[in-house]
Amino acid sequence: MYSRPSRNFRKPSIVIRTNEPDYMVFELKNTDVSAANALRRVMIAEVPTIAIDLVEMENNTTVLNDEFLAHRLGLLPLVSTEAVAWKRPFEWSSDADMIETAFALDVNCTVDGVMDVTSNDLIPLNPEHRVIPVNYQLDEKPIVICKMRRGQQLKLVARARKGIGKDHAKFIPVATAVFQYKPQITLSHSAMAEMTDDEKQAFVNSDPSKTFKFNPITRMIEVDNEESYMYDEECLVKARELGRPDLVTITQKQDHFIFRVEGTGVLRVADVVRQGIEILHKKCMDLEAGVQEALAVAKGQPLPVSAGG
Amino acid sequence: MESEGTDFFAATFSIEEEDHTLANSLRFFLNKNPHVAFCGYSMPHPSEELVNLRVQTTGKITAVQAVKAACEDLQQVCGHMRTTLAAAVTKYQAEQARDPAMR
């Protein structure tokens, strides 16, 4: 249709550095910052998860009031691998659609001293739905919902639904999703040749992020970890002080990003990234369909038959 | 979504329920198109999920064609990222299986 620009932003490449169930570091290359940012925004705000959305209180004599407890219950992370198969409440159309599951909490403090009501006390009323709090009944410390003393009771039913981060922060599947440009640090060997060892060491020490190191064997400054550089420009100030403003040049590679995504146990991080890409893809397809529709409406033609709803 | 002008070479697209996520990416791909003379987007108010995308072309293609081309570009990028990610995950898992000490 039109000649493609020579710099091809359409074939990004991904290299994974670390892939653990709750932490992933990967590099995204050959794409623009707007695409990287779109992926980051979708990972945070539009990947669906399951969280408690409705709490029916039967008895609450604890020190925390009803809405306080409901708020805390909503923030509990629930394993959301089923979220893909579920529908959002407004999408419900037939009895076969999964939209919610329920948990019961029934705790009565009969001992002296403080008793913790934790996420381990939530009992899934439909265990076949496979939605449980993260680290349910495992050795790790559970999440404390509330504390009680003798005589206090808490009895409720909590209903969990599917949602996205845009609606409420409790649905955000990641702890953080961040990316940085890959820094490009070039050192001038000619400037280094004119410096003394003390000056070089002083320069290396001036950077609080320890980006550089002094190699005593070659007696040169080397880059130790360029990605730790925080752009505070302390080393540039030091270079100017030493009379060598051309010693180091620090730029950012505009098409190379390093993503760090940390999960909360709600979904595997690799799944969050994959779903993020799929949701971004779907948004484009929906927009294209919308453009077609708007065109048909403006021309007074019959609406096009949508291919996928 | 509504658009003013259909066979015109300049149009403003009001996109509902969208924000910077899609609008900025589309703006980038539209600007890459050599037949687009101007492209920009604005959010009239942050509390309202509405984006106005303004496209003005040189006359070789209509504004609607430009937006559709940008959508297709973005879809291609997404599709490619998807397959690349799947391949990268498999590759990483294979490397981990071969050498678990490698991090």
Query: Beta partners for A50?
Result: A162
- Least confident span in A31-40, A145-154, A221-230: A221-230
**Structural domain contains residue B14:** yes
> A279 to chain B: nearest residue by CA?
B78
**Structural domain contains residue B64:** yes
**Structural domain contains residue B38:** yes
Q: What's the CATH number where B44 sits?
A: 3.30.1360.10
Is the pLDDT at B32 greater than 60? The verdict is yes
**Structural domain contains residue B101:** no
Q: What is the pLDDT of residue A308?
A: 43
| Helix (H) / strand (E) containing A252 | strand A248-263
Is the pLDDT at A147 greater than 70? The verdict is yes
B80 has a chain A CB within 8 A of its CB: yes
Asked if B82's CB is within 8 angstroms of A38's CB, the reply is: no
Confidence of residue A38 (pLDDT cuts 50, 70, 90): very high
Q: What is the pLDDT of residue A27?
A: 95
Domain of B35, in residue numbers: 2-96
Question: Measured between beta carbons, which residues in chain B are less than 8 angstroms from residue A179?
Answer: none
Is the pLDDT at A48 greater than 60? The verdict is yes
Mean pLDDT across chain A: 90
Q: What is the pLDDT of residue B102?
A: 54
**Structural domain contains residue B54:** yes
> A286 to chain B: nearest residue by CA?
B71
Asked if B28's CB is within 8 angstroms of A14's CB, the reply is: no
**Structural domain contains residue B12:** yes
What's the half-sphere exposure (Cβ side, CA atoms, 13 Å) at A303? 8
Whole-angstrom CA distances from A82 to A51, A73, A79, A266, A303 are 12, 19, 8, 10, 35
| Helix (H) / strand (E) containing A289 | helix A269-299
Is the pLDDT at A295 greater than 90? The verdict is no
Distance CA A19, CA A263 (A): 11
- Global pTM reads 0.89
Distance CA B98, CA B93 (A): 9
**Structural domain contains residue B103:** no
More confident residue, B101 or A134: A134
Question: Measured between beta carbons, which residues in chain A are less than 8 angstroms from residue B76?
Answer: 10
Is the pLDDT at A5 greater than 50? The verdict is no
Of B80, B89, B91, the CB nearest to A11: B80
Give residue B46's identity as a one-letter amino acid code: P
Instruction: Note the pLDDT tens digit of each residue in B79-95.
Output: 999 999 999 999 999 98
B18 has a chain A CB within 8 A of its CB: yes
Tokens of A238: 């030091």
A301 has a chain B CB within 8 A of its CB: no
Q: Alpha helix locations (H) across chain B?
A: 20-32, 63-98
A37 has a chain B CB within 8 A of its CB: yes
Is the pLDDT at A82 greater than 50? The verdict is yes
**Structural domain contains residue B102:** no
Asked if B20's CB is within 8 angstroms of A41's CB, the reply is: yes
Give the minimum alpha-carbon distance from A118 to chain B in angstroms, rounded to a whole number. 35
Instruction: Note the pLDDT tens digit of each residue in A162-183.
Output: 999 999 999 999 999 999 999 9
Q: What are the DSSP calls for A72-121, one per residue? A: HHHTS-B--GGGGTS--GGG--STT---EEEEEEEEE--SSS-EEEEGGG
Count structural domains, chain B: 1
Instruction: Note the pLDDT tens digit of each residue in A190-216.
Output: 888 888 888 888 888 888 998 899 888
Is the pLDDT at A6 greater than 60? The verdict is no
